[in-house]
Amino acid sequence: MSDTSGDSGSDRGTGHIAADGVFVVGTDTGVGKTVMTAGLTGWLRDAGTEAVAIKPCQTGHPPDNDAAFVESVCGTADAAVCLERLSPPLAPEVAARESAEDVTLSYEAIRDGVADIVAGSETAVVEGIGGLRVPLADGREVIDLVGDVGLPALIVARSGLGTLNHTALTVQALRRRGVPVVGVVLNEYEGATTAERTNPEVIERMTGCAVWSVPPLDIEPADCVVDVLRTHLPQSVLQPALKQ
């Protein structure tokens, strides 16, 4: 049988958030990165770590406002930072080009802005934009930012049919860039289909990553997001990010 891990010498997943933070990436748009980012940030802050969520670029704004959602979950305005906001609900590079306003995105400015906040924070939770191959700025993509920032990645994926391919390719792409993978979270997991019930074990076997599942949740009230993550993710995922 051929090796399907996609790279040589890949780790089997760190299983925990690094002390300086984590980059929450998705296999696609709308998979639950914002909920995961908010829940992790709130969980860390509740545990005594001054975590801050970073959204490098928000498109579709308004109404989309991921940083505001994190703030509502954490109950404080200093829990999240957004570097760029664009109106068109498109990939950032495309949104800047199509915007009615005179907008110029700089990959270097975004990269350096994220890096500065990470360096100045106790722990940072950076949220990606769509999937890894989404055009960001200056011909660079989200995966370039993940690699340049240097944090391990936590992958958020759909639970049902089709997620095996998307998730395995995402793990492969990260490892080829030398990005450690914390694990995979299958979001909105109900176990209602054979695909859902078998996907966690298959993904773990395909990628060597820890795989966790989080059920659908009602985000009202917002603080319930933290409680759901506490229930369905192991406490060890926060180590060594927690204050000692």
Measured CA to CA, the distance from residue 214 to residue 30 in angstroms comes to: 15
Phi-psi region of 224 (alpha: psi -120 to 50; beta: other; left: phi over 0): alpha
* SS3 of residue 93 by DSSP: helix
Instruction: Identify the bridge partners of residue 140 per DSSP, sorted by sequence position.
Output: 137
Measured CA to CA, the distance from residue 17 to residue 24 in angstroms comes to: 10
Active site residues: 55
Any idea which residue has 């920032």 for tokens? 149
pLDDT tens for each residue of the chain, 244 residues long: 334 444 533 456 889 999 999 999 999 999 999 999 999 999 999 999 999 999 999 999 999 999 999 999 999 999 999 999 999 999 999 999 999 888 899 999 999 999 999 999 999 999 999 999 999 999 999 999 999 999 999 999 999 999 999 999 999 999 999 999 999 999 999 999 999 999 999 999 999 999 999 999 888 888 799 999 999 999 999 998 997 5
Q: How far is CA 137 from CA 46, 73, 144, in A?
A: 35, 29, 10
pTM over 0.85: yes
CATH code for the domain defined by 21-238:
3.40.50.300
pLDDT digits (tens, 9 = 90+) for 110-135: 999 999 999 999 999 999 999 999 99
Burial class (CB in 10 A: 0-12, 13-18, 19+), 167: buried
Measured CA to CA, the distance from residue 59 to residue 70 in angstroms comes to: 16
Query: What residue segments make up the domains of the chain, in order of their start?
Result: 21-238
Measured CA to CA, the distance from residue 145 to residue 182 in angstroms comes to: 17
